[in-house]
Amino acid sequence: MTVTPDLLRSENFAEVGQLLQQDAGLLIERWSVEAVKDQPHAHRLHHQALLDDLPRFLTELGRCLAHASERNSGNHCKPAVDHGEQRWEAGWSLGEVVRDYQLLRVVLVDHLEEKLDRSLHSHELMTIGMCLDDAIAASVDSYVRQREEFLRGLEQQRAEQDNRIKEELQRREEILRQADRHKNEFLATLSHELRNPLAPLRNVVGVLELHETSDPVIVQIREIIQRQVQQMVRLVDDLTDVSRIAQGKIELRKEQLSLSAVLDQVVQSANPILEAQQHKLHVNLTREPLWLEGDPARLAQIFLNLLNNSAKYTDSGGQVWLEAERDGDQAVVRVRDNGIGIDPPMLPHIFEMFTQAEWSLNRSQGGLGIGLTLVRRLVDLHSGTITAHSAGRNQGSEFTVLLPLLPDGQPS
């Protein structure tokens, strides 16, 4: 007679089935020992094997083997489904689940043959194997279904979190844009309003200069007013330039020019403040002509600002250097000093708006902290770069500007 699944499902194995129901707990103990031996480092061993649906599964399996009607209904697969869910919740791997069913098959056959004191018949072995295969399929399907549901939930949570983060970033970006716009509008308004009282003050200074006097007090007062008005004019000019650049309203009047000519003009303009501070200026410019395309007024503004910055933050009688050379297709200009220097934590922020070293705030020429911001933006407009370096406080500072030279190295 040909053995078929239907034939095996129609047969009853009362003796085997009753023994499985009777010894379910003992089988679990034997299985646990074999499981530890087989995979001593498996994650599942951290859980109590008896506190799940495996004993119930063995009891139902015994009932199904004893009664063909129970087997055809697949009742033994129901605890296997719960068993698969529990294995997922307990953190077992799928490989561990399948491997444990394989171990259970071996333990189950060994136990039955020991108890029956005989070898199992072929139909008994095939039926037990078929029932176990059905249970494994149900358990694995349940395990995988739970895992996929978990992963879908995890993916949904991740998507929701990504959306929340994206919305929050967009909200903050809009807040920053509005804040930046309000800042630029404020700077533009401030610089405009400050110019109004400056004009009559400059006129007053001009009138005072026309009246000669021998009174030293009057002369001193006039010089103080003149110096402070000039400082205010410079600050307002910086505010206006920063505001215009931020709003994209500044236009460079570029032309082909010699960098040395610009730097010569800068040296002449910087001499008064350097001499007032009794600084020694060392100028070292390459004799090679460095031709580039740029706005001469704005380029002069860049390097004059850097020289004034060095003079401002170097104690009286200090040393200031201005150097220029070629490096490939770029002009390199360095402005360095032996002044108060810059703390390393400040270096990444030195070109940000309103940034000043803490100890510089006590200096009378501290300014608004926008000079270097303006310098960087003007350098950017010339397709160049600027970097700052300092070994630390009282170690001096160095600013390096790189500007692209004309392709042929000379004007067309």
Instruction: Identify each DSSP E strand in 142-297 by its residue range.
Output: 255-258, 280-285, 291-294
Q: What is the mean pLDDT of residues 72-98?
A: 84
User: pLDDT: is 168 or 50 the higher one?
Assistant: 168
Residue 127 belongs to some domain of the structure: yes
pTM comes to 0.51
Q: Check whether 44 has a pLDDT greater than 90.
A: no
165 falls within a domain: no
pLDDT digits (tens, 9 = 90+) for 228-251: 777 677 777 777 777 676 666 677
Mean pLDDT score, 97-110: 90
CATH of the domain at 154: 1.10.490
| Mean predicted confidence (pLDDT) in 222-232 | 76
Q: Which domain holds residue 278?
A: 255-404
Place of tokens 């087989």: 38
Residue (of 2, 1, 5) closest to 127 by Cα position: 5
Number of domains in the chain: 3
- What is the model's pLDDT at position 318? 94
Q: Any residues with CB less than 8 A from the CB of 334 and at least 6 apart, and which?
A: 321, 322, 323, 324, 398, 399, 400, 401
What's the pLDDT score for residue 339?
93
- pLDDT tens digits along 340-398: 999 888 888 888 866 654 444 444 444 545 778 889 989 999 999 999 999 988 899 99
257-299 pLDDT, tens digit each: 999 999 999 999 899 889 989 999 999 999 889 999 999 988 9
Taking the alpha carbons at both ends of the chain, their separation in whole angstroms is 104
Residue 412 lies in a domain: no
Percent of the chain scoring above 70 in pLDDT: 89
Question: Given this model, what pLDDT does residue 358 score?
Answer: 46
Average pLDDT of 215-221? 82
Same-domain pairing of 216 and 98: no
Same domain, 51 and 139: yes
Residue 336 has pLDDT above 90, yes or no: yes
- Verify that 124 and 211 share a domain, yes or no: no
Same domain, 12 and 142: yes
The arithmetic mean of pLDDT across residues 160-182, rounded, is 88
Q: Are 260 and 326 in contact (CB under 8 A)?
A: no
195 plus 321 within the same structural domain: no
What CATH number corresponds to the domain at position 320? 3.30.565.10
